[in-house]
Amino acid sequence: MDTGSRVDTGGTRSLLMCGVLAGPIYLAAGIAQGLLRDGFDFERHPLSVLANGPGGWVQTANFVVTGLLVVAAALGFQRVLRGTSRATGLFLGALGVGMLLGAVFPADPMDGFPVGTPLGPPTSMSTVGLVHFAAGGLGFIALGVSALVASRAMSRRGERALARLSLLSGVIILLGFFAGMALPSSSPVLGIWIAVVVGFAWLALMSRRLAATTA
């Protein structure tokens, strides 16, 4: 292998390792804020609302950092999964863009958070909040589709176990958003949590495996 190839391989692996880091960073920062900030309830509030109130800049920065890491990972996917399989990276990149938009357009306060916000579901949604909701929803739907497309790509590469894992992850991510919205009480938030955790876990495993294959 010549020097140029070694540099390219190293750069690709670095991009893919961003996918390994994205989920742990996003969840660790979000959970830490949720534990420290008054009024936040993991059963009622998505992490998005942490961008409101004093200290909200931390969650905004969390969206930016995670979004950039996901975009970097998507570029790594594009390099490794050539041809028609590049759709996996394109859909993954849409998640990163959605998170960056989520940083620019924060979620509306809701259900008692920040402290002083009326309890209960919001009676209306601002334009900024609507853009955030749309960007986040479409982003994670794209993540689910990315996992489904990756299932076929991994099958063609002979990675049967990863193909099955990708298929299952994609289905769970999409059900987490769509089925959760149809259920009462705190179920929509629970669905979002499931989609986020499963989605980032899949991204980490997929990124790590692809990084290993670039050696």
pLDDT digits (tens, 9 = 90+) for 112-162: 899 988 987 778 889 999 999 999 889 989 999 999 999 999 998 899 999
d(CA 15, CA 76): 5
Greater pLDDT, 32 or 213: 32
Residues 40-53 pLDDT 10s: 999 889 999 999 99
Answer yes or no: is pLDDT of 82 > 60.
yes
d(CA 58, CA 41): 17
Q: ∠207-180-66 over CA atoms, to 5°? A: 30
What's the mean pLDDT in 191-213?
94
Residues 159-172 pLDDT 10s: 999 999 999 999 99
In 10 A of CB 121, how many CB atoms? Answer: 9
Q: For residue 131, which of 174, 154, 99 has the smallest C-alpha distance? A: 99
d(CA 162, CA 7): 27
Answer yes or no: is pLDDT of 188 > 80.
no
Residues 18-42 pLDDT 10s: 999 999 999 999 999 999 999 999 9
d(CA 191, CA 42): 12
Q: For residue 100, which of 63, 53, 62 has the smallest C-alpha distance? A: 63
Answer yes or no: is pLDDT of 96 > 50.
yes
Alpha helices in 86-126 (DSSP H): 87-104
pLDDT at 5: 41
pLDDT at 215: 64
Give the pLDDT band of residue 197 (cuts 50, 70, 90). Answer: very high
pLDDT at 84: 58
Cβ-based neighbours of 35, under 8 Å, separated by 6 or more: none
pLDDT at 187: 54
What is the domain count for the chain? 1
pLDDT at 4: 40
Domain extent, residue 105, equals 3-117+124-213
d(CA 12, CA 156): 21
Greater pLDDT, 44 or 15: 15
Provide the percentage of residues in the chain whose pLDDT is more than 70.
Answer: 91
d(CA 29, CA 60): 11
Q: For residue 180, which of 143, 154, 141 has the smallest C-alpha distance? A: 141
Q: What value does the mean pLDDT of the chain take?
A: 89
